[in-house]
C-alpha cells in the first residue's frame, strides 16, 4: 500500500526513515510467505484427502455390491433355485447322517484291529451293520433323483434369464453407440418366470409322494438296529436312531415351506445385507448360485489373530518388562535394535519361511509321539491357522514390544522409587506398580498389534491354507489346526481374477471396506485408552 508511506511522511515525523510498512509483492492477494504457508498447508491436507479418497473409492467400487447381490438373490428365487435348495438341504442332511454311520464303522474297525483281528474277519463281523448302512443310504435315492432333475430345470431357467439380460445390455450398448441395425438383430425374449416356474413348483405333489415313501423307508430302516461287534459303540447307534427321528420330524415343516414358497416373493434390501454380514458361505464362480457371506473369512481372520496374539502378547509384554526393568544396560542396547530388526523382515519372506520350513516343522512336531496328548495332534495339513498364527505372532511382537516398552518407560520414576523405598522387591514393584500404571498403554499396544495382525496379507495368503470354510468348532482345539481363509487373503487371491464391475469384484471391495473400518475401530479404541491413561497419570 504505497500511499501509507506518503501519509506517514506528511505528518512531519521522521518516519520515512522508519520504514516498516508492507512492500512485498503479492500473488493473488497473498505475499510469498503466505503462499508458501498455503502450499505446505495443502500438503498437510493430503493425509486427510487420502483418507477421504480411500473411503470414497472403497465405497464407490463396493457400494453397488448390495444392489447386485439383491438382484442375484432375486434371480435365485425367481428361477426356482431356492426351491431346489430347500429339497437339497434335506438330501444333505441325510448325507450327514450316513457320514455319522461311516464314522461309527471307522471306530469299530479301529477297535477291532487293535484287538488283533484281521480285515476279512472284521468285514464279516460288520456285515450286518454294512447291510443296514447300505439300506439306510439307499433310501434317499428317489429324492436325490428329484433334486437332480430340478437342478437341471432351474439351471436352465437361470441360464436363459442371464443370457437374455446379457442381450439387453448388448442391445443397449449398440443403441448407445448408434448402431441401430446391430441392435435390432438382437432378439430379446423376456422370460415369463410365472410360466417357467411351474416346471419346478408343479412337482410338489410328486415330491410329497416321494417324500412319504422316503420317510416310511427311513422309519422302517431304523426300527431294528444291527448289533455291533463292539459293544461300546452301541450307544452311538442308539443316538443315531435318535438323530434320524429328529430328522424325520423336520419333514412336515419342509413340505409346508415348499408349498408356501413363492418365486415372486420380494427380496428385501436387508436380505442382501444379512446374506453378506451373516452369510456362512463364500462360494464364487459356481454354476449354481454364488454366495458372498463374510463369516467364514471373518472367523478365519479372527482365529489366526487369536493364535497370533495368544503367542505374541505374553512374549511381547514379557520382553518389554524384561528389557525395561530387569535387563542390564548392555542387554538393552542389544535387544532393542534386534527386535526392531525383526519388525523389518518383510511379511512375504515370513510367509515363504512358513511354506518352506515352519509348516513342515510344526507338522513333524505334531507327529511326535510324546506330543500325541495335545488335542488335534497329529495333523496332516501343513498350511493351517496355526502355522499362519505363529508367523503373525512374529509380526505382532515388535509392535507390541515397542509400544508396551514405551508405556512402561512412561511410568514416572517416582512411582518405582517410592515403591523401592518402602521395601518392596523388584518383583513386587513390577507387579503392583509398574504394570498397573502402564496397563492401559499395554492394552492399547495389544490393540494396535491386533490391528497389525488383522491387516496382514502375505503371511495368511501363503500359510493359512486358503480353505473357505468355517472351521468345525465342535472338535475343540482341532479347529485351530484346520486350513482357513481370511479377509485380507481373499482380496489378494481373487482380485486379480475377477471381472471388473462384476458382483464378485464389488464383494471384494466390500470386504476391503470391512477391513478398513475394523482398522479404524481398533485405532480409535487404542487412542481412547491411551488418552484416558494420560489423564489418570497427569
Partner 1 sequence: MTTVSTNTFASRPSTGRSLEKSTFWIFRIATYVILLAGFAVFGDIVFKGSATVFGAFKTTSSFPYFTNTFLTEAPESLYVFEHKGEKREMGDTEYRAFREKETAAALAAGKPAPVFEAASYVYSAGGIWPCIVGTVLLVVGSMTIALLLGVSSAIFLSEYARDGTFVRFVRLAILNLAGVPSIVFGLFGFGMFVIYFDWNVSLLAGWFTLAFMVLPVVITASEEALKAVPKGFREGSLALGATKWQTIQSNVLPYALPGILTSSILGIARVAGETAPIMFTAAYVVRDKMPWDVEKISDFFFQGVMALPYHIYVVSSKIPQNEYTSRVQYGTAFVFLGIVALIAASSIILRNKLRGRYKW
Partner 2 sequence: MDTPSATPASRTFNVPATATSAEGAQTLIEIDNFDFYYGAKQALFDINIRIADKRVTAFIGPSGCGKSTLLRCLNRMNDLIDGTSVKRGSVKIRSIDINGRDVDSIELRKRVGMVFQKSNPFPKSIYENIIYGLRIQGVKSKSRLDEVVEKSLRGAALWDEVKDRLHESGLGLSGGQQQRLCIARTIAVEPEVILMDEPCSALDPIATAKVEELIHELKKQYTIIIVTHSMQQAARCSDQTAFFYMGKLIEFGETRDIFMNPKNPQTEAYVSGRFG
> What residues numbered 320-359 form the site for partner 1, per CB under 8 A?
321-323, 326-327, 335, 337-342, 344-353, 355-357
Nearer to partner 2, 2 or 116 (CB): 2
- Taking the complex as a whole, the smallest distance from the CB of residue 24 to partner 2 amounts, in Å, to 7
Which of 6, 18, 181, 369: binder of partner 2 (CB under 8 A)?
18
The footprint of partner 2 on residues 23-52 (CB under 8 A) is 23-24, 33
- Phi and psi at 26, nearest 5°, equal -120, 145
Stretch that binds partner 1, among 72-80, 266-274, 287-295, 522-530 (CB under 8 A): 522-530
Which H, E and C letters describe 81-123, residue by residue? HHHHHHHHHHHHHHHHHHHHHHHHHHHHHHHHHHCCCCHHHHH
Q: Is 1 in the site for partner 2 (CB under 8 A)?
A: yes
Contact 315, 396 (CB under 8 A): no
β-pairing, 282-283 vs 30-31, is unpaired
Cβ distance to partner 1 smaller for residue 97 or 487: 487
Asked if 465 contacts 480 with a C-beta cutoff of 8 angstroms, the reply is no
Q: Which stretch binds partner 1 (CB under 8 A): 112-120, 272-280, 363-371, 454-462?
A: 454-462
Would you mind telling me the total number of residues written for the chain in this entry? Answer: 538
Return the one option of partner 2, partner 1, none that residue 515 interacts with (CB less than 5 to 8 A, by type).
partner 1
| Residue 484, beta-bridge partner list | 465
As a whole number of angstroms, the distance between CA 179 and CA 332 comes to 75
Reading the block at residue 343, the C-alpha cell is 519388525
Sequence-distant (6+) residues with CB within 8 A of 207 are 87, 146, 255, 258
356 DSSP assignment: I
Q: What is the DSSP string of 362-396?
A: HHHHHT-GGGTTSTT-S---SSSHHHHHHHHHHHH
CB of 34 vs partner 2, minimal distance in Å: 12
Q: How far is the CB of 357 from partner 1 (least distance, A)?
A: 6
Is position 19 an interface residue for partner 2 (rule: CB under 8 A)? yes
C-alpha cell belonging to residue 367: 507327529
Number of residues that bind partner 2 (CB under 8 A): 16
User: Residues 186, 170: contact at Cβ < 8 Å?
Assistant: yes
**SS3 for 217?**
helix
According to the binding rule CB under 8 A, does residue 436 interact with partner 1? Answer: no
Q: Which of 20, 181, 224, 285 binds partner 2 (CB under 8 A)?
A: 20
Q: Does residue number 427 form part of the binding site for partner 1 (CB under 8 A)?
A: yes
Q: Please identify, among the stretches 19-27, 126-134, 233-241, 456-464, the one whose residues bind partner 2 according to the rule CB under 8 A.
A: 19-27
22 binds, options partner 1, partner 2, none, Cβ within 5 to 8 A by partner type: partner 2
Q: Which residues between 45 and 74 bind partner 1 (CB under 8 A)?
A: 45-48, 50-51, 53-54, 57-58, 60-61
Determine contact, residues 78/161, Cβ cutoff 8 Å. Answer: yes
Contact 357, 391 (CB under 8 A): no
Binding of residue 420 to partner 1 (CB under 8 A): no
368: Cα separation from own chain's centroid:
32
Distance CA(315)–CA(401), nearest Å, equals 8
* Residues in region 477-516 near partner 1 by CB under 8 A: 488, 491-492, 495-496, 500, 508-509, 512, 515-516
- Decide whether 123 or 428 has the Cβ nearer to partner 1: 428
Q: Does 9 bind partner 2 (CB under 8 A)?
A: no
Q: Which of residues 351-410 bind partner 1 (CB under 8 A)?
A: 351-353, 355-357, 394, 397, 401
What does 151 interact with, of partner 2, partner 1, none (CB < 5 to 8 A by kind)?
none
What cell was used for 171? 442391445
Binding region for partner 2 (CB under 8 A): 1, 4, 8, 11, 13-15, 17-24, 33
Amino acid at each position: 500500500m504505497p500511499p501509507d508511506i506518503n501519509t506517514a511522511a506528511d505528518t512531519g515525523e521522521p518516519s520515512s526513515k522508519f520504514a516498516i510498512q508492507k512492500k512485498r509483492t503479492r500473488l493473488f492477494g497473498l505475499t510469498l510467505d503466505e503462499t508458501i504457508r498455503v502450499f505446505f498447508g495443502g500438503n498437510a491436507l493430503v493425509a486427510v484427502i487420502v483418507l477421504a479418497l480411500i473411503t470414497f473409492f472403497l465405497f464407490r467400487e463396493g457400494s453397488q455390491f448390495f444392489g447386485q447381490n439383491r438382484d442375484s438373490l432375486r434371480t435365485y428365487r425367481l428361477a426356482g433355485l431356492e426351491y431346489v435348495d430347500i429339497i437339497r438341504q434335506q438330501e444333505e442332511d441325510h448325507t450327514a447322517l450316513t457320514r455319522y454311520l461311516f464314522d461309527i464303522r471307522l471306530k469299530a474297525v479301529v477297535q477291532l484291529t487293535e484287538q488283533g483281528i484281521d480285515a476279512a474277519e472284521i468285514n464279516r463281523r460288520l456285515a450286518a451293520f454294512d447291510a443296514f448302512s447300505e439300506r439306510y443310504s439307499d433310501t434317499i435315492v428317489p429324492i436325490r433323483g428329484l433334486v437332480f432333475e430340478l437342478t437341471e430345470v432351474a439351471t436352465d431357467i437361470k441360464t436363459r434369464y442371464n443370457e437374455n439380460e446379457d442381450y439387453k445390455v448388448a442391445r443397449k450398448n449398440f443403441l448407445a453407440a448408434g448402431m441401430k441395425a446391430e441392435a435390432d438383430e438382437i432378439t430379446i425374449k423376456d422370460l415369463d418366470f410365472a410360466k417357467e416356474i411351474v416346471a419346478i413348483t408343479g412337482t410338489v405333489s410328486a415330491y410329497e409322494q416321494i417324500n412319504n415313501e422316503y420317510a416310511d423307508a427311513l422309519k422302517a430302516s431304523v426300527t431294528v438296529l444291527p448289533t455291533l461287534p463292539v459293544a461300546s459303540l452301541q450307544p452311538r447307534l442308539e443316538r443315531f436312531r435318535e438323530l434320524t427321528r429328529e430328522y424325520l420330524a423336520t419333514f412336515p415343516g419342509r413340505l409346508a415351506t415348499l408349498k408356501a414358497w413363492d418365486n415372486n416373493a420380494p427380496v428385501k434390501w436387508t436380505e442382501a445385507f444379512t446374506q453378506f454380514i451373516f452369510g456362512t458361505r463364500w462360494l464364487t464362480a459356481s454354476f449354481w448360485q454364488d454366495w458372498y457371506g463374510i463369516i467364514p473369512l471373518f472367523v478365519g481372520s479372527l482365529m489366526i489373530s487369536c493364535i497370533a496374539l495368544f503367542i505374541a502378547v505374553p512374549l511381547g509384554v514379557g520382553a518389554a518388562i524384561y528389557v525395561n526393568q530387569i535387563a542390564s544396560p548392555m542387554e538393552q542396547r542389544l535387544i532393542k535394535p534386534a527386535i526392531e530388526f525383526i519388525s523389518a523382515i518383510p511379511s512375504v519372506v515370513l510367509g515363504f519361511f512358513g511354506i518352506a520350513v515352519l509348516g513342515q516343522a510344526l507338522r513333524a512336531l505334531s507327529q511326535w509321539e510324546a506330543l500325541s496328548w495335545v488335542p488335534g495332534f497329529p495333523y496332516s495339513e501343513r498350511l493351517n491357522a496355526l502355522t499362519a498364527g505363529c508367523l503373525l505372532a512374529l509380526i505382532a511382537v515388535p509392535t507390541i514390544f515397542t509400544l508396551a516398552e514405551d508405556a512402561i518407560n512412561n511410568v514416572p520414576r517416582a512411582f518405582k522409587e517410592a515403591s523401592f523405598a518402602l521395601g518392596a522387591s523388584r518383583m513386587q514393584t513390577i507387579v503392583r506398580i509398574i504394570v498397573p500404571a502402564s496397563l492401559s498403554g499395554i492394552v492399547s499396544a495389544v490393540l494396535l498389534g491386533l490391528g497389525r495382525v488383522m491387516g496382514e496379507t502375505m503371511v495368511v495368503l501363503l500359510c493359512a491354507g486358503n480353505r473357505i470354510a468355517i472351521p468345525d468348532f465342535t472338535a475343540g482345539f482341532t479347529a485351530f489346526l484346520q486350513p482357513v481363509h481370511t479377509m485380507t487373503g481373499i482380496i489378494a487371491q481373487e482380485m486379480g481374477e475377477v471381472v471388473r464391475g462384476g458382483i464378485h469384484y464389488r464383494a471384494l471391495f466390500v470386504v476391503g471396506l470391512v477391513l478398513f473400518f475394523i482398522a479404524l475401530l481398533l485405532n480409535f479404541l487404542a487412542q481412547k485408552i491411551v488418552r484416558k491413561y494420560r489423564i489418570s497419570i497427569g
